Each structure stands twice: as structure tokens, then as C-alpha cells.
Structure 1
Amino acid sequence: MKDSMQTVTTEAHPKAAAVFIGLLGALAGLMFGLDIGVISGAEQFIKTDFGISDTMLEHIVSWMMLGAAVGALAGGWMAKSLGRKRSLLLGSFIFVVASVLCGAAWSVNVLLAGRLILGISIGMLSFTAPIYLAEIAPENIRGSMVSLYQLMITIGIFVAYLSDLAFSYSGNWHWMLGIIAIPGALFFVGIFSLPDSPRWLMMRGRKEEATRVLLRLRGNPKIVEQEEQEIAAQLRIPQHGWQMFLQNSNFRRSVGLGVLLQIVQQFTGMNVVMYYAPIIFKDMGYQKEAQMVFTAIVGLANVLATFIAIWLVDRWGRKPILYTGFTVMAIGMAVVGSMMHLGIHSHTEQIFTVAMLLLFIVGFAMSAGPLIWILCSEVQPINGRDFGIALSTLTNWVANFVVGATFLTLLNSFGHAQTFWLYAGFNVIFIAITGLLVPETKNITLEFIERNLMAGKPLRKIGQ
């Protein structure tokens, strides 16, 4: 043991090791993105093949989110009891099985069951991955590393859109849904090389293992010793999860903020675009092939704009990026709604409307997409982090379910322009919420944030 510790201690690039491990852990987001993207391209083929209504199509889209809500709850218990690594393993295994089931679906009921099970795996992964990344990352690059998770979501969406485009010429939706089992299997194998979270190891009394992991991630024994002392000090607080939520009003504040932030993220309208992009482009007057091409362009814009967040999040800070993003999203949605209200008659008007939709995508990908996950992992105290993130992740999926299950109904009953204006109005409200409640956590340790939270500071000041 002594020799192995010495070997790790002298590692030349400890930060590079942390980034590599973080990148592999963030691949959980790829699974999330693949599932979001793949259903978008398959919807119209499924509808034609099974002869179903818009309401049933909403069910097929949204049952994944319903399963994810269940998976997020299970993920909270598993991440605490089994550990972050084992939770990622189990979630990825279920993902592979469910993807195969969806690809082989011979009836609507089988497809619904496959989507529900797939959602359970995504919920588990979406809970575990951000908390794992936050706990292995040094504070000076924590924002960028957790942003890797969102980047992987966007890459997954883009890859799924490209796959859908390739299979759209034959209309083979079975392959669209089933092929994502392949990257799922590769991710499952890759997880075996990940270490467990040092914070979780210390919570389980496995300090020597935690030290070895921290030495691998940080390289400097003095930094490791200081971090271990900070973690140990927080672990001495005799409160956990639900009991902590009942007993501590400051913890209830952080949980409430996490819940609110996830509602904010979903009601920006981003997943409306992700789930129903081809239908939106159809409403703009594009034919099926062009719908799939522009949907792939949406995915590419989503990937590229996420790099803006990764570059800025630990330089510019969380709040300035959120202000900018919500403003851009409000403008994009408002203009798209206005164009639909006025009527899109010429090719120039079509291109302009697409550009405004892409502007909205950029606004989300550079701000609320990655930053909400970062903030939700940062504001929860260590002894309640599993509970707090599980509840906020559950909220994400419930809100996601509401958005996915109502968009086509809103278009058909409320009106196309009015629906986009509604989401534009939400983004204006979110600017105010950012100013009133969101803290700036750039370059601040999780332990410092917790001390301020428990001291009763206003939420927007717990990073100061």
C-alpha cells in the first residue's frame, strides 16, 4: 500500500488524471442525450407505423421522463448505499437492456414499457453523474468538469440526430431506437476503470481508500490532507437526508433552491425543441428530409454552444452566464412565436426563423443547460447532498414529463405562436429568479458554501 501511494503521489499531472476520470464519468450524460435525441427522429415513423394519435405520441415521448423520476429516487438511495461507481454500473446496464427492448418493440405497449425502463436508467445516471463529478473535481475546475456532463448530453443528442437522419431514408425507427445500446455497452465497460468518490469513501469509513483516490486526483499530499480534514469536519455533523430536511431549515432552503432551479431549466422550453424538433420544422414549412437535416443542425449548435459554458463558467461566473442565457432564450422564443403568428411564407423567412430557434439553443447550451446541474450539486451540504440532489433530479424529470406530455396539446389547443410566447415569458421570469435567489459559487469550495448556508446567509450570498 505504501509503495502504491508513493507512486500516485509523484504523478506528474494530477489535474490531467482528474479531468480524464471526470470525462469518463461524464459519459453518463451521453446516454441521456442519446435517448433525448433518438426519439425525436423516430416519432413520425412510429406514429405512421402504429397509426397512433398525437396524445399517444406524447405518452411514448414522456414515459421515459416518468421512469426517470422513479430512477432519480432510486439513484439517491443507491448512490449513498452502493456508491457512485456501482450506481453508474447498474444504470448503464439497465440502459443497454431497455434500448434493445425499445428497438425490438412490436407493439405500442412494449415500446411504452421499454421507454419507461429506459427512463429508470437515465434517472439513475442523471442523479449519480453530477454528484460524482462534483465530488472528484478540484474547486478551481469543478464548474468545467460538471459542465462536461452537459456537454456529453449535447453530444449524445447530436449523434442520435445524425443516426436518425441516416435511418430516416428507410424509415427504420427500430434501428433508430436500438442502436444506442452499443455506446451504452461501451460506457458500462469503461466504468470499471473509475475510482469511487473520495467523499463517499470517507462517509463509509474507508479513509485509506479515499486518500489513495485523492492522491491520484490532486497529486499534492498537503492538498489531500487539507481536503480530508474539511470532509471529515462536515461528516461529524450528525444529520442525514430526510432527518436533516425535517430538522434544519437552512437545508430546506438549499433543497428548495435545487428544486426551483430544475423547474427553471425545464420550462425554458429547451426539451420541447429537443423532443419535437422535426415537428417544429414541419410547422415552418419544411419537408421531411429538410426537417431531419435541420434537426441535426440543432444538435450541432447545442454541442458547440456548450463549449462556451465550459470556457466561461470558471472565468466569468455562474450568474452573469445565466443572465445572458435567459435573455437570449427569451428573445429567440419570442421571435419564433412572432414569425409563426405573422406567417412564414418565403424561404428567407424560413431561414430567419430557424436562425432564431438556433439562437435559443445557443442561449440554453451556454447557460441553464450545464449551470443548473453545477449549482444543484454545489449548494447542497455534504450530509444531505444525496437527498437534496435526488429531490432536485426528481423534480427535473417530473417537470420534463409535464413539458413533454403537453407540448403537442398546447400547439393544437393554445396555438403555435402563443406556445412559443409562453416559453419566452418564462425565460423573462427566470432572469428575476437568478437575481433574487441564485448564489455565485465560482472558485468557492463546497465546504465554504455549506458553512455560509448553515449560518443562515441569504441564498444569493452563500458563495460570498
Structure 2
Amino acid sequence: MNQNQNLGYIMLLTLVATLGGLLFGYDTAVISGAEKSIQTFLIKGLNLNSFAHGATVSSALIGCIIGGAISGLLASQLGRKKSLIVAAILFFISALGSGKPETLFFESGKATMGLLYMFNFYRIIGGIGVGLASAISPMYISEIAPAHIRGRLISFNQFAIIFGMLVVYFVNWSIARGQTIEWINETGWRYMFLSEAIPAGLFGVLLLFVPETPRYLAMQGNNDKALSILERINGIDKAQSILNDIKETVAKTAASSSSIFAFGKKVIIIGILLSVFQQFVGINVALYYAPRIFESMGAAKDASMLQTIVMGLVNVIFTVVAILTVDKWGRKPLLITGSIGMAVGMIAIGTLSFFEVIGISTLIFIIVYTASFMMSWGPICWVLIGEIFPNKIRGKAIAIAVATQWAANYFISSTYPAMMEFSGGITYMFYGIMSILSAIFVWKMVPETKGKSLEEMENVIEKL
């Protein structure tokens, strides 16, 4: 198999794995179009407060925490491929259940506490799928990708996340366009959730045709099959050498200790802080509540969803910038540059909020903020989480990092409505300060991983 055929095969495997990222984005952003309808139909209909509103909008994140926490166990016990199949099944169930939560027990079209509980239950089911995919899709890609293009290929997963968000922004907008507010609040939001069943089903089917990763197979002692896949990915001349490196690191880690802290606590702390900062800069507030933010700027319902699409396009463009530069410039320069851009955007938005200035300037700084995130912390955080942990403990360590990330996400997203009621200016300033701290953290603590194989990274880790 020649080099072009190798690359084509790698790209096919990557594209299938990134459907997990697309569903990650689709599932987390579908709520942006349905959020106000959920508030009207369920929260206000049951006379509940802003905390119940925030908890319902963010309920999928509880599942994300669970999915992230168990991802390491499933990836180690079932393998990377089968774990992604489980995620696809959960996405499918969640799509159907969230769109018709009353199907099993409750009267259709009537807001009840039981209906609210079932809606949250199905959103949590989908969240478990998101948590699994968010950890295992980049893990799968990192374990099949050659070192010189690994950063770019893992960044495709972030592109898929953002593309999934953009797709669902279009879907939500097309469902709501030309319809009455009453229809959207009673029926339209259901179609938004049901639409996810299509990509979820496609993901599950395509996964049946991809192989397990060679590194997982080697860890299971299935060296012949691992070698066969490595030959298709890296070529016959390189495959045996790579397999020998994998076997050496697996033997080394097994001989040392099974503890994830055997290689030093610092790398685990770095993974956790990467995850925390990615969320504490406030990106998911902008994504989940985007139409609401634009409505607060004076846009009508349709216009706010259209502006959300514009923001989604900006996100896609700047994620492409990250894909094109991550293996050239390195991880650290992109992260620090992005942190500075996010700080400028959020501090400016906070300042405008203090002076009650709402208009095109706010939209510009939201775009500055999101563009800065998408060219840096969006994809690069996932790249680093997929790279920095040793082979033997990668599943467990990624699970810790991802569960922490979703816990931080839940905290930030669920507290946003209450924080905004207190002070919009202080809320955005907080995210700006977190952006500054994230730059300092990267500068002081994060190792550069550009161009190193996963096995070479273990030598870097030992020096931390």
C-alpha cells in the first residue's frame, strides 16, 4: 500500500471517529434553539425558577460527567470501537426520548413534573453518549494517527464538534422559520431533538466497519492484528518498529505500577487544569445560550437564530485555522494566543455590559472571543488530552480529565442564568479573568508535544 493509500485509509477512519465529535456538538447545541421553548413550555408552565431553568438546560451535562467518568473503564474493557458504538446507541435513544418524553407515561402536550423528569432523563442519556464520545473519539484518532499529522487529525474532531453545532443551528433555524412562537413552544422544539436520530444512526452503522486501534490491540496481546493495522496506516517498513515501541512502553508501564499516578501527579494535574480552563473561560455559555444572548441585544427570534448561524460559521473558519497550524506552530503558541484573544473579547463585553451598551459592538467582541477559542482551546485542549498520557493509563487518565471538564461545564452553564440576574458585567469579566489565568497556566506548566510519537511523549512526561 503506497503513502497516498495509507493517508486515505487514515482519513476514512478519522472521519468515522469524528462523527462522535459531530454528535457531541449536535447534542450539546440543539438546546440553544429549544432553550426558550423549554423555559416557556416546562419551566414557566410549572411555575419554576431560574435555577430549575439552568439545571434543565444543563441536565445533559450530568450525563456528560457520568460518560466521561466511565469512558476509561469502557475503553479499557470493551475497546475504543465498541465504546463508541455504545455512545451511538445512547445518542439515538436520547434523540427519540427528548423529542417525545411523554411517549411512555404521560399525556402529550401537557406540562407536568413527570414530563420534566423524563425530558431530563433522556437528556442525561444523551449526555452519557457525549461524555463517552468526547473522550474516546480523540483517543481513537490519537491511537491510529502518525505523529507528524496527529495534531491535525485530532483537531478534525473539534471541527466535527463545531460543524455539528453549525448543522443543528441550521436545523433549528429551519424548523422555527416562519412558524408562530406558540407552535415552536409546543411542537417545534420536539423536532429539533428528534432530528439527532439521523446522524446517530449513521454513526452506529459506520462504526461496524472500522477496526480497533493497534495500541489497544497490542495492550490486549493481539500483536498480529495490531501489526496488520499498523501496516495499513504507516506502511510495512515502519509498522514493526512502531509495534515494538508500543510493546516496550506497555511492558514498562506494567512493570512499574498500574496506578495512574505512577508517572507523576503533575501530568494528571495538567490534564485536569486543561479541562477546567477550557470550560471556565465561558465558551459553552456562548454556545448554549447564543440565541438568548442575541435576543438580549435586540434581535427578534428568527434574527437571533440567524446570528447564531453566523457565529457558527466563524467557529468553523477558525477551527480550520487551528487544523492548518497545530502541527506547524505547536500547541503552546496557539493556546496562549487564543487565551489573550478570549480575554480581550470577554473583558470588552463585560465593560459594555456595565455601561448597558448593546449593539453591533457586542456582536463583534463575541465573535472575537469565539474565534479566539476555536483556533486554540477548542481543538488544542483535546489534542493535548489525547497526547500527554502514557499508553497503559491513557483510558483512565483521559476519563479523569474529561469527567472534570464536564463537571466544570455543568457548573459554568447551570450558574449562568443566576449570575446574569446578579450582574452581566461581572459575569463576563469573570470569564475574561479565567482567560488570562489560562494563558499563564499554559506558559508555566504545559509541555510542547508537536511532532512527538505517543511513545516519545512518555520521555517528556518523565521529565515533568
TM over 0.5: yes
Q: Map of 1:156-175 to 2, 5 A cutoff?
A: 156-169=164-177, 170=179, 171=184, 172-175=188-191
Q: Map of 1:40-59 to 2, 5 A cutoff?
A: 40-50=32-42, 51=44, 52-59=48-55
Partner in structure 1 of residue 304 of structure 2: 291
Deviation at 1:242, TM superposition (A): 8.7
- 1 CA distance for matches of 2:244 and 2:64? 36
Q: 1:26 to 1:138 in 2, by over 3 A?
A: same
Deviation at 1:240, TM superposition (A): 9.0
Could you list the per-position Cα deviations for residues 415-441 of structure 1 after superposition, in whole angstroms to 9, with x for gaps in the alignment? 011111110111011111011001111
1:244 and 2:234 aligned: no
Q: Map of 1:244-393 to 2, 5 A cutoff?
A: 244-246=259-261, 248=262, 250-344=263-357, 350-393=359-402
Partner in structure 2 of residue 77 of structure 1: 73
Report SS of the residue matched to 1:193: coil
Q: 1:241 to 1:331 in 2, by over 3 A?
A: farther
2:411 pairs with 402, 413, 424, which one? 402
Deviation at 1:294, TM superposition (A): 0.9
- 2 CA distance for matches of 1:362 and 1:80? 35
Could you list the per-position Cα deviations for residues 246-301 of structure 1 after superposition, in whole angstroms to 9, with x for gaps in the alignment? 5x2x3322111111100010011110100111121122222222211111111111
Moved over 6 A (4+): none
- 1 CA distance for matches of 2:369 and 2:50? 25
- 1 CA distance for matches of 2:276 and 2:256? 21
1:192 and 2:205 aligned: no
Partner in structure 2 of residue 4 of structure 1: none
Residue range with higher mean Cα deviation, 305-314 or 114-123:
114-123
1:453 and 2:461 aligned: yes
- 1 CA distance for matches of 2:269 and 2:224? 35
Partner in structure 1 of residue 197 of structure 2: 181
The answer as to whether partners of 1:29 and 1:126 remain within 8 angstroms in 2 is yes
Sequence identity percentage:
32
1:14 pairs with 6, 22, 31, which one? 6
Report SS of the residue matched to 1:333: helix
1:218 and 2:253 aligned: no
The answer as to whether partners of 1:11 and 1:216 remain within 8 angstroms in 2 is no
CA RMSD of aligned residues (A): 1.5
Report SS of the residue matched to 1:440: coil
> What is the letter of the counterpart of residue 282 of structure 2?
G
1:232 and 2:247 aligned: yes
1:68 and 2:64 aligned: yes
Q: 1:209 to 1:314 in 2, by over 3 A?
A: same
Report SS of the residue matched to 1:244: coil
The answer as to whether partners of 1:237 and 1:383 remain within 8 angstroms in 2 is no
- 1 CA distance for matches of 2:372 and 2:139? 24
Report SS of the residue matched to 2:264: helix
- 2 CA distance for matches of 1:355 and 1:439? 33
- 1 CA distance for matches of 2:255 and 2:72? 12
2:444 pairs with 408, 433, 436, which one? 436
Report SS of the residue matched to 1:105: coil
Deviation at 1:88, TM superposition (A): 0.6
- 2 CA distance for matches of 1:242 and 1:71? 26
- 2 CA distance for matches of 1:240 and 1:340? 57
- 2 CA distance for matches of 1:272 and 1:151? 19
Q: 1:243 to 1:231 in 2, by over 3 A?
A: closer
Q: 1:266 to 1:74 in 2, by over 3 A?
A: same
Deviation at 1:16, TM superposition (A): 2.1
2:95 pairs with 83, 92, 99, which one? 99
Deviation at 1:195, TM superposition (A): 1.1
Q: 1:417 to 1:241 in 2, by over 3 A?
A: farther
Partner in structure 2 of residue 461 of structure 1: none
- 2 CA distance for matches of 1:261 and 1:278? 28
Q: 1:419 to 1:12 in 2, by over 3 A?
A: closer
Could you list the per-position Cα deviations for residues 128-173 of structure 1 after superposition, in whole angstroms to 9, with x for gaps in the alignment? 1111100000000000000011000000111111111112233110
TM superposition score normalised by structure 1: 0.92
Q: 1:256 to 1:137 in 2, by over 3 A?
A: same
Partner in structure 1 of residue 426 of structure 2: 418
The answer as to whether partners of 1:241 and 1:384 remain within 8 angstroms in 2 is no
- 2 CA distance for matches of 1:398 and 1:369? 17
> What is the letter of the counterpart of residue 367 of structure 2?
L
- 1 CA distance for matches of 2:434 and 2:253? 40
Q: 1:241 to 1:274 in 2, by over 3 A?
A: farther
Q: Where in structure 2 are there 5+ consecutive unaligned residues?
A: 103-114
- 2 CA distance for matches of 1:368 and 1:162? 24
- 2 CA distance for matches of 1:295 and 1:338? 22
Deviation at 1:216, TM superposition (A): 1.2
- 2 CA distance for matches of 1:427 and 1:241? 37
Deviation at 1:62, TM superposition (A): 1.6
- 2 CA distance for matches of 1:258 and 1:115? 27
- 1 CA distance for matches of 2:434 and 2:4? 48
Could you list the per-position Cα deviations for residues 39-68 of structure 1 after superposition, in whole angstroms to 9, with x for gaps in the alignment? 011011111112243222211122211111
Partner in structure 2 of residue 204 of structure 1: 220
> What is the letter of the counterpart of residue 80 of structure 1?
S
> What is the letter of the counterpart of residue 82 of structure 1?
L
1:108 and 2:116 aligned: yes
Deviation at 1:11, TM superposition (A): 7.0
- 1 CA distance for matches of 2:315 and 2:3? 36
Residue range with higher mean Cα deviation, 231-240 or 366-375:
231-240
Report SS of the residue matched to 1:184: helix
